[in-house]
Chains A and B, each alone.
Chain A
């Protein structure tokens, strides 16, 4: 079987399931439907504003989504699928478990229960258009909308298009990029954007040392399929020096047709001269579990545990699960030095959307020195996993797309023990005065 056929079959299978699932649920009373109220829900008055806010950035011509949702004519044929995808919280892509740990995030695109109820009610009612006078003005899209981190201050790209053959083994080219930066700058946010997302498994970017010396190499950022961007908390940043050259560790895979990619990296900088107090750190956490990965053929709910010790007190600023096609969910738990445990976050995993969940500053976990971060990964190697490339075979740790992984990219900045105590005291005081805030 060729990849082309496999991909195509998979696409049709998923599409069939989505459509059928939509059909099977249309007409049924969905959770939260009553919350939409008793009045008629129309596209122009109720649904279009939701689509503009949460969907159209991707669902518009020239963007990454397969269909446009700009107009009623665009959206109407997809009403049932839209209902299915939003009511199961498959869309907008945001897979955090809302019943666990931290609940406040930066740039959370997910819909409220009320918004979901409106869409469900609209689809159930036959997707009425409504009064054209209620239609909000079309959303204006600037180039900035193409970047999850907002309009970048600076963009670099790989020197030339990289050609990925229609068929072949996975490919890991190392590509050097001269940033041509003329002054030192502190990074507030960074995002990697392949021009063709379907062939790019990951991009790990490193800043080479002075004069391109690999010996002084430092981590810059990581991208995996569908990732948004790393946004550091106010006052935390990562220095990129003038003249820095980057090493981009690319991972391409073939998809049955020749594809050309020219990956870019966008930066949002702090103002010139501003020196953030904190150094933003991003690192693999729980990788130790990966070497133990043992995912039997055909098995679902296979658990793997990995641990990383935080040598210093820290404020955890982001959680990005990393698995491959068989990834199902991942959790990060803090095991404190006093052996108390706290589950910080769990998220369902979708290989096509390797999202980073950036914690809101007033909810970001504070951990003392010596805390163990415990990464719990769950894989599904059964035939029931429609993205599984080969359920007949065992799967373990490896770098290919067809192999598996089980770790998390965690972001944080270090605190001194005194700073940690002060932050905890401030957080407790805030909680005491604000009953509506929780994490």
Chain B
């Protein structure tokens, strides 16, 4: 073993031991200079926002960005200046970047055996290269409430956790209908509890200890507290509602 190898571990440990002394102390006389807010000419930082579990055991890495310009939106085509690696350079990332911070912009799916690998998004703008390193480190795990909390504020968390995207349930329709005869569609729009409690942003969103507030009825056929029925009479000659296949 050479002398250098023999003493290297001690040099490293020694450096570690001394590191806090050299970096920990900063006082008012050493304040860094103030930042200048620039409207144009700055870089764009790709930002790793975290990761989500998908129902099929794969993962989605979520990204956003920070356009450091206060006024300049910038187009960057997918390619050497806007690319992912390893693998497909195009992972659905934006090609137009609005000014300042844009959170939770898109998801890049990785397989369930992704492990410790990193998915790197590189942006080169105004001559500066910036990178985001996506990984599955536990501290970066996302949930719906994390996104809601960061985008809409903490007071809406309880509502958001109950809220669901809107959906449409259509009752069975005849297998055939004569042209020009018209068709009546019936069905329901489930209304999540949260939608009926929603308050303005910034107000508390507590679980109600008292009676459930009355919901404003959407139509005369709205009876159930959780299922609002609808009736749509379609004009002769055509349908005005697109009904998904059931």
Contact = CB atoms under 8 A, between A and B. Distances in A.
Given A1-B137, A3-B138, A169-B142, A305 B34 contact: yes
Contact of B141 (A6, A21, A169, A305): A169
A402 B27 contact: no
Interface in B22-77: 23-29, 31-35, 37, 45-48, 50, 66, 68
Nearest to B65: A394
B209 A212 contact: yes
Interface in A288-338: 291-292, 294, 296-297, 300-305, 328-329, 331
A174 interface: yes
Interface stretch (A124-132, A236-244, A352-360, A384-392): A384-392
A1 B116 contact: yes
A226 to B, nearest CB: 17
Given A1-B137, A174-B206, A215-B203, A303 B31 contact: yes
B28 A400 contact: no
B14 A24 contact: yes
A170 B14 CA distance: 36
Interface in A403-421: 403
Interface in A362-389: 376, 378, 380, 384-386, 389
A301 B32 contact: yes
Interface string B69-109: 00000000000000000000000000000000101000000
B28 A331 contact: yes
Interface in B122-136: 130-133
A346 B27 contact: yes
A393 B138 contact: no
Contacts of A208: 204, 206
B149 to A, nearest CB: 5
Interface size class of B (residues with CB under 8 A): 35 or more
B20 to A, nearest CB: 6
A302 B32 contact: yes
A212 B206 contact: yes
B194 interface: no
Contact of A217 (B37, B116, B133, B203): B203
A390 B139 contact: yes
Given A1-B116, A168-B141, A392 B17 contact: no
A397 interface: yes
Nearest to B199: A214
A2 interface: yes
Interface string B139-163: 1111101100110001101100000
Nearest to B120: A392
Interface residues of A, number: 70
Contacts, number: 167
A429 B140 CA distance: 56
Given A17-B17, A301-B32, A172 B149 contact: yes
Interface string B225-245: 000000000000000000000
B35 A169 contact: no
Given A254-B138, A296-B45, A400 B32 contact: no
A174 B158 contact: yes
B206 A303 contact: no
Contacts of A23: 17
A300 B32 CA distance: 10
Contacts of B149: 172, 399
Nearest to B26: A329
Contacts of B173: none
B1 interface: no
B181 interface: no
Interface in B198-222: 199, 203-207, 209-210
B3 interface: no
A305 B209 contact: no
Given A303-B33, A396-B47, A389 B28 contact: no
Contacts of A294: 35, 45, 66, 68
A261 interface: no
A76 B39 CA distance: 59
A390 B205 contact: no
A176 B34 contact: no
A394 B66 contact: yes
B38 to A, nearest CB: 11
Interface of B: 13-14, 16-21, 23-29, 31-35, 37, 45-48, 50, 66, 68, 101, 103, 116, 130-133, 137-143, 145-146, 149-150, 154-155, 157-158, 199, 203-207, 209-210
Given A169-B145, A217-B203, A402-B139, 12 more contacts: A13-B16, A17-B16, A24-B18, A97-B27, A172-B154, A214-B205, A291-B101, A301-B26, A393-B132, A394-B47, A397-B101, A399-B150
Chain A to chain B: the 4 pairs with minimum beta-carbon distance, closest first = A214-B204, A20-B17, A169-B143, A303-B32
26 contacts: A3-B138, A16-B13, A17-B17, A17-B19, A20-B13, A88-B21, A169-B141, A171-B145, A172-B157, A173-B158, A174-B154, A206-B204, A214-B203, A217-B203, A247-B204, A254-B138, A292-B35, A297-B131, A301-B26, A303-B33, A303-B34, A305-B35, A378-B31, A389-B139, A393-B48, A400-B146
